[in-house]
Amino acid sequence: FQSKPNSGRHFLHIPGPSNVPDRILRAMDHPTMDHRGPDFGKLGAQVLEKAKAIFKTQSHVVIYPASGTGAWEAALVNTLSPGDRVVMCETGWFAHLWNEMAERLGIVADFVKTDWRRGADVDAIGQKLRDDKSHAIKAVCVVHNETSTGATSRIAEVRAAMDAAGHPALLLVDTISGLGSMDYRHDEWGVDVTVSGSQKGLMLPPGLSFNAISAKAIEASKSAKLTRSFWDWKPMLAANATGYFPYTPATNMLYALDTACDMLLEEGLDNVFARHDRMAEATRRAVRHWGLEVQCEDPRHFSSVLTAVRLPEGHSANALRATILEKFNMSLGNGLGQLNDRVFRIGHLGDITPLQLVGALGGVEMGLRAAGIPHQAGGVQVAMDYLGGNA
């Protein structure tokens, strides 16, 4: 289905769902299998093991047939009890949604504000923990890559602040849009629950989500009192021990996940991350040349997954995106929440090459002109100079 009569492939440059490589599409193209038969057990065990390498954990990864929102809920209901206090950080729209979910579940969240132009405020988190002498705070929840703003939070520093405060709270991290694109280390960074999803750096269609779970989180789940059923880790981990699931798994998506892990590991995670860094740097150079502003103000927090671009006052980002879709058959991400119509988001994640990025930036530059947005032409040239090694 294509809404426009344009020939050629649609350019999907939203910050996820990302483009699915042909090799993964072929991997999914199998007859449906018996999810209780021996072949499935082998696939399940294999893919659960491979996923650990992507999260950089020796502990457990569970896979839900759900979008990322489900895995958010799983992280909360398995570790917390009604009335528990947590610290959350308002990095943007997704942090806001996770906070709303926590409140709805009966968790009392202390929401550390930012201006949506940077990652989590590590000093503020450390201060809250130092002030909490009675250890009433049960968890710190941080969004690693805030997809609404293109700002990343430095999880190792959050961990260090928690350790420096000598505080036993759990660390819950959403890397739904960071995993498989930017460096992420579940074990080394002492994360207790990592939440992720299939449709971003893993290059899969939407439909799977994940919890990577530390031993401390499993221990916490034994006394956590929030109501849980579908999301309960206990039956999941019991079934996973032999490669099976407590309910019908998304079998064909697991073939795809198996292949996605192979692709990422064959390229080498460090190479994957460096490729994303290059795409992001090229994009920011183009944006600066156009004379537009990147939403993330702190270079230490720049995301390598997406770049959110602010439009000058009085210009509509939604109108620009509509022009680009209409004229050039490319989808860009919209501004979310308070950024609606103020920014557009360029996704440069997953199965992406320099040539694709140059095409996408070309679409943006032509769109800026077509929509009458004041800018300096030549941003694509600047990106090409950088990507071609001439910058």
Please, what is the minimum distance in Å from the beta carbon of residue 319 to ligand PLP?
23
384 binds ligand PLP (CB under 6 A): no
Output 11 or 94, the one with its CB closest to ligand PLP. Answer: 94
Using the contact rule CB under 6 A, the part of the chain among 169-177, 239-247, 271-279, 309-317 near ligand PLP is 169-177
Q: Positive or negative, the Cα torsion across 115, 177, 61, 249?
A: positive
Does 73 participate in binding ligand PLP (rule CB under 6 A)? no
Q: Which of 67, 81, 318, 334 binds ligand PLP (CB under 6 A)?
A: 67
**Residue range at the interface with ligand PLP (CB under 6 A); choices 65-73, 134-142, 279-287, 322-330:** 65-73
Nearer to ligand PLP, 181 or 221 (CB): 181
Question: Quick check: 16 binds ligand PLP (CB under 6 A)?
Answer: yes
Q: Does 116 bind ligand PLP (CB under 6 A)?
A: no
183 near ligand PLP, judged by CB under 6 A: no
90 scored as a contact of ligand PLP (CB under 6 A): no
Q: Is 335 in the site for ligand PLP (CB under 6 A)?
A: no
Query: Given candidates 73, 84, 121, 174, which one binds ligand PLP under the rule CB under 6 A?
Result: 174
Member of 143, 236, 282, 311 binding ligand PLP (CB under 6 A): 143
Q: Residue from 94, 210, 231, 328 that binds ligand PLP (CB under 6 A)?
A: 94
Q: Rule CB under 6 A: choose which of 69, 81, 316, 356 binds ligand PLP.
A: 69
Among 180, 190, 197, 335, binds ligand PLP (CB under 6 A): 197
Among 79, 147, 259, 323, binds ligand PLP (CB under 6 A): 147
Q: Report the nearest approach of ligand PLP to the CB of residue 207 (Å).
A: 9
Count of residues touching ligand PLP (by CB under 6 A): 11
Q: Which residue is nearest to ligand PLP (CB)?
A: 68
Determine whether 359 is exposed, middle or buried from the number of CB atoms within 10 Å of its CB (0-12, 13-18, 19+).
middle
Residue nearer to ligand PLP on the CB measure, 182 or 220: 182
Residues binding ligand PLP (CB under 6 A) = 16, 67-69, 94, 143, 147, 174, 176-177, 197
